[in-house]
Chains A and B, each alone.
Chain A
């Protein structure tokens, strides 16, 4: 399988972007605590699409069942001013408890889980298992001509693993997106 090389053409110059335009792009991980009510995810995603913000990855799950609290982890990118805006815009949504920029404030630990399907025979199988071992990936399914590996780590590690599997016989990848938490004893 050939990975499509994504080289999007540069966006047309926005007449409004003069102040923000050439600023350095940063990647930030935001943690958003929300009331787990219907439509809350649509509000968050709609905010990003409506205001033209990037979503690199998004995960969501309930984290406190009794209080109906869900935690959304969003990895986004943009100039620092835009990231600050994103935080404030999220805070405007009524069912949102708290928005924390983990990249800015919390030396966050970030993890993602991936399942990677690889097809191959002979030496390719040996090589795949050897690499999996080096990456602490587990085999969770196997046939005579394929493996499915399970791997956790930060997004870079997973990217790297996937790239290494590509020439061996990468079939497909399923990733959870990033979950993140701050270091130390305090909550966000």
Chain B
């Protein structure tokens, strides 16, 4: 297993040993030896992006859709700093990445050498961990350790900064073996006594709800399967965060839709009124809790999470179970089955009756139009026309992202790639490229806003170079719609700088890149146009011209409780008065 080779060759060898067959990158002086090693092998496929931020998001899309670690390679200085947004995005959303950066030679570090920057210093705050490799002896261990750290426990991005002299140096390579990390050994198995206690609490509940999140996706398809089984066994209602969509199928009868700021009426009211909340791999984000002191005031709370710091961070819970979702749910399902607890069937029936009255509010309804394409309608049509295919959805950030979450329905995990925690405009197109690399035969669609997609539009070239037929479905409202909506609700309709001026002609832009451009503004022609997009063997930019002033509802205004949602009906006739719904305290919040 141990062989003599250069540091650059070790990088490639370690990628092979880790099964990392796809690498997103951009060359430069400080990584030339590694690019030379890549040139001389056939295992690792390198995807040349057009901006290092694109490499990071592509690696994220690759990772999230495949369950593998996403890998990127960039040069020192500007190459490294350009990845910072993507690394931060991956940290916030718990995405496993390994980012290899070149560094100036060891003896020049600290001298303000050409394209030197303190990469480990800069990325310390936006990585799960990072390394500066000081000698060739350390390199094989660090390479394998980086994959281990990125993918175990709560996943996250890891940077390996490799000075150029270390890439040239020769040393002894070791394979991954079963590296036992000295200090980092996250707990995956949950405490059985606590799981038993959780089952007792669940059996006694009269108004329970599962609140699930991205941790279920992180834990793997097995976790989703176990979650579905547990929902079936218990008969409890289930809602999910933006990050957890697809873990439980949207067609499942216990599904309440997404919760939170733009979640459904039924999901948020169920959370508010429940007597037992079972949080599974979700982190009580402020988009979920709204006003903390009014968050589900009457409930007992169970929280299953692999990261002890997630438990009791924002919301105090009654029972925290530390462990991996799949491991804990496996025990929970087994204990539930063997103990076959007597649930209060009468109470549960009553609870479902209550939930059904909330469902009747039809909180995702919107006023249809014959003249313009309503953005919600566009997503619904896109869903209907793609749901029976092998489809993966990515998004940019804004209203379109929320409409996608509300109106596109996911049946399986790993099909939905979105920037939740950081909310990075420009995520969706490179992420789609990463997804398409992982799933060459699949239909990959970036549901985009016209403002966001311009932030990494250069990646169209990447898509074309590798013949990746990604579809960019732009809900073009000629506004930074989400910003415009907040300005309408909070700032008296003063639309400061939120109008998308001087937009490119997206059809011509597509053609300029060598892709296909489609435009549609007529609701009657929408289906045909979508079919044309789906059937195109090439990358497509679809300019879907939608209603400009549409707001995304329902919405829990900042600083409000779950049962103080604004619904679309109210907003229609209340108009300007919506501003008064949000108080001064709420305006302070983001």
Q: Which residues of A contact B (CB under 8 A)?
A: 15-16, 18-19, 35, 38-39, 42-43, 46, 50, 81, 84-85, 88-89, 91-97
Contacts and interface: CB of A to CB of B under 8 A. Distances in A.
B132 A38 contact: yes
Interface string B568-590: 00000000000000000100110
A15 B293 contact: no
B149 A94 contact: yes
B286 interface: yes
B182 interface: yes
B307 A92 contact: yes
A94 B124 contact: no
Given A39-B120, A46-B125, A94-B128, A88 B309 contact: yes
Interface residues of B, number: 30
Contact of B309 (A15, A16, A43, A89): A89
Interface of B: 120-121, 124-125, 128-129, 132, 134, 149, 154, 182-184, 286, 291-293, 307-309, 311-316, 559, 585, 588-589
Contacts of A84: 312
Contacts of A46: 124-125
A97 B585 CA distance: 42
Contacts of A15: 559, 585, 588-589
Contacts of A39: 120-121, 124, 132
Contacts, number: 56
B286 A42 contact: no
A160 to B, nearest CB: 37
B589 A81 contact: no
A92 B309 CA distance: 8
A42 B124 contact: yes
Contacts of A93: 129
User: Which of the listed residues B183, B286, B559, B588 has the most CB atoms from chain A within 10 Å of its own CB?
Assistant: B183
Contacts of B316: 19, 81
B292 A18 contact: yes
A85 B149 contact: no
A95 B149 CA distance: 11
A94 B312 contact: no
A170 to B, nearest CB: 38
A91 B309 contact: yes
B292 A85 contact: no
A95 B312 contact: no
B331 to A, nearest CB: 23
Contacts of B124: 39, 42-43, 46
B121 A42 contact: yes
B299 to A, nearest CB: 15
B309 to A, nearest CB: 4
